[in-house]
Amino acid sequence: MTFDVLSDLNWLAVLVAAIAYFAIGAIWYAPPLFGKAWAAAGGMEIPEAGTRPSPAIYLTPLVGSVLSAIALGMLAKATGTDTFQRGIVLGLVVAIGFAVSITFVTAQFESQKPKPMVWGAITAGYHVVGNLVAAIVVATWQ
């Protein structure tokens, strides 16, 4: 694989995949779903209702979602992944092989967190779902 594959990407699909990955995070980490448990496991506090964090806090996850979608698009092109089923395989390979394994290694050494492995499981779950959806989008929307 070379970086030449970047010119072959469907950039609209990459953008949609990135937005989907980011939006999944907004839902995943919302207090009614996993937000409260994730914050407690990480020793963090969720801001009071009616208060909002700085919009800058969303920049890193947005950039991460874009970079992940680009990488998934490149891998889909390089491997000929162009169906829904193959998108699922690509998403699982990337999610489990990279995101989940890195998250759990990181969680193992986060001894200052009250429940590092719970924090890791919630974070890893988000990346599994996010990678799956993003991989399906870039694979099927060639």
- Write out pLDDT tens, residues 21-68: 999 999 999 999 999 999 999 998 877 777 777 888 899 999 999 999
**DSSP, res 53:** -
Instruction: Return the pLDDT at 17.
Output: 98
Q: Could you give the residue ranges of the DSSP H alpha helices within the chain?
A: 11-28, 36-42, 59-79, 84-94, 101-108, 116-140
- Write the Ramachandran bin of 106: left for phi over 0, alpha for psi from -120 to 50, otherwise beta: alpha
Tokens of 87: 């998108």
How confident is the model over 63-87, as pLDDT tens digits? 999 999 999 999 999 999 999 999 9
Q: 64-67: long-range contacts (C-beta < 8 A, 24 or more apart)?
A: 65/18, 65/19, 65/21, 65/22, 65/25, 65/130, 65/134, 66/14, 66/18
Band (1; pLDDT cuts 50, 70, 90): confident
Q: Return the amino acid letter for 115.
A: K
